[in-house]
Structure 1
Amino acid sequence: MPDMYTFQSPNSAIKSENGSTPRFTPNILPCRIHHDGPIDSTDRFWTPLTDAKGTYTSTYTDDSLICNGILIDLVNLDNTHSSYFRGRKLRGRRVAIPEGYTGIVATPTERVSQQPVKNSSAEDDVAELEEPAKVLEMQGGFDDIMVWGHEVLPAADDPYVKGIEEWVRFAETMHGTPAPVSK
């Protein structure tokens, strides 16, 4: 059986200087990277940058921005993004997390929750105690994600775009309280 996890509020060490939780922008790349862990320098491989206006001060040619020899993400006028990864052009779009939801970046720990998790099924009305859930520690949050595609923008039927824009609303409809029917 897979491990069960529970969230734990961030500890004070995670708070930034201004007292808020750090904010991130997850990037979903159209490739498989056979590595799961930290690397020495992310700047060498992936450096999307924008300033407060969403513009760049470095020089660029065509749709490429080169800063210190690194190709950088560009924000286009239509609020799409372009970048290059290992020589291939990527085009991306931001997908907002629906209102009422929060994106969380968390890491698993070996700590165990103090409260046991109950497992109940439709066939069995008796709840049995499972093994204690491991703690996921919150590292930060996000309000949107960047979904990237090779040469083209991810369309509305992209599984990640669809999952956020359609399936969340569908799940709310399925599990929400039905609205009263007026006659």
Structure 2
Amino acid sequence: MGGGDEESSHSSQPATVDLSLDSPAVVDLTGKVHRLPCCIKYDGPTSVSNYFKPKPTEMEVDGLPVEEAYFRGRKLHGTTIALPQGYSGFILGKKSDVKEGHNTASDCWETNATFQNVTVWNHDAMPSKDDAFLRVFHWFTVANADERGQMIIQAKDLNIVWGRDDRYWTVPNKENLAELHQVSWLEVTGSVNGINPSKIYEVGFRLSFTPDAFGWGSSPIYIMVKRGKYGKFASRKFVLDPYAIRQFEITVMLGKAEKPDQDTNNQKLYFGLYEVWSGKWKGGLKIHHAIIKELV
């Protein structure tokens, strides 16, 4: 009877999750977490690094650097995705209750490891931003909506032509912004899923200039936005003032879809910031973030 009462008392305890990182046993697995396109009927330790050896390639798809590996003789292509700023990955394990010299599983979980990125692998296709797993990361954008209901896309999550070359850009810089040093071709794009085809949206960028900005007076810049891959662009032209001291926003309106109920592509919004026509060099621009706001 006593044993039964003890078991009943134990099972009535609420389940808990401890995400603290204080324990020295917590391991950092950044760069070692992989999502494979297969089912492995095994759960436990193994010498993964002895057999699974990813390596970089010189290819890039949708701005994603492509990696290559082999698993059981099958060639895989993948890409490593950093978790959004402010987020971490956790690997949990059940705590053990030690009572009277016996270890028993509890309903309490603790952190065994953390990670800041994950490598996603495909077997028969190159990685793409349209992959189902990668599209999940668009919902972090929705979670970052500010108090006014705006979706905020951080500069590091935008696709910036030449953005990985520090001769032209620093992404992100010390302020977590995208800072332009010099380019003659400015192209900054992004996309989000889950927009409402029956709503009007305001899309734009928050910008500022460095004290040594140059080349903007004779180089108008455009914001362009559309619904779906084959939608019509809405655009707006701006002549920027490189002597502006404070941050400022430039925006464009996107109307309702013409046939909101007939095309699921209307639920994806593409947007961009462009100056690709003048061929003139320009620099000193800071991109703080992109903004997408649902209106009516």
TM-score range relative to shorter protein: 0.5 to 0.7
Question: Unaligned 5+ residue runs, structure 2?
Answer: 1-13, 98-105, 151-292
Match of 2:165 in 1: none
Give the 3-state SS of the residue equivalent to 2:85 in structure 1. coil
Q: Do the aligned residues in 2 keep the contact of 1:104 with 1:140 (CA within 8 Å)?
A: yes
Q: Structure with the greater relative contact order (CA < 8 A, sep ≥ 6): 1 or 2? A: 1
Q: Do the aligned residues in 1 keep the contact of 2:19 with 2:111 (CA within 8 Å)?
A: yes
The 1:169/1:4 distance shift into structure 2, 3 A limit, reads farther
What is the aligned counterpart of 2:28 among 22, 25, 49?
22
Is structure 2 residue 178 aligned with structure 1 residue 167? Answer: no
Match of 1:56 in 2: none
So what's the TM-score if we normalise by structure 2?
Answer: 0.37
1:97 to partner: Cα distance: 0.5
Q: Count residues in correspondence.
A: 124
- C-alpha separation between the residues in 1 aligned to 2:19 and 2:136? 25
1:179 to partner: Cα distance: 4.7
1:55-107 deviation digits (Å, cap 9, x = unpaired) = xxxxxxxxxxxxxxxxxx22012431001101111000111101111222222
Is structure 2 residue 47 aligned with structure 1 residue 75? Answer: no
Give the 3-state SS of the residue equivalent to 1:160 in structure 2. helix
Query: Which letter does structure 1 place at the counterpart of 2:21?
Result: P
Q: Do the aligned residues in 1 keep the contact of 2:34 with 2:121 (CA within 8 Å)?
A: yes
What is the aligned counterpart of 2:24 among 6, 13, 16?
13
Match of 1:145 in 2: 118
Match of 1:85 in 2: 71
Query: Which letter does structure 1 place at the counterpart of 2:130?
Result: D
1:162 to partner: Cα distance: 1.0
Structure with higher strand content: 2
1:144 to partner: Cα distance: 1.1
1:6 to partner: Cα distance: 1.3
- C-alpha separation between the residues in 2 aligned to 1:91 and 1:30? 10
So what's the TM-score if we normalise by structure 1?
Answer: 0.56
1:2-57 deviation digits (Å, cap 9, x = unpaired) = x9441242344326xxxxx5243310000011112223x324432x3xxxxxxxxx
Identity %: 27
RMSD value, Cα: 2.8
- C-alpha separation between the residues in 1 aligned to 2:48 and 2:144? 37
* Larger radius of gyration between Structure 1 and Structure 2: 2
1:140 to partner: Cα distance: 2.7
Query: Which letter does structure 1 place at the counterpart of 2:89?
Result: G
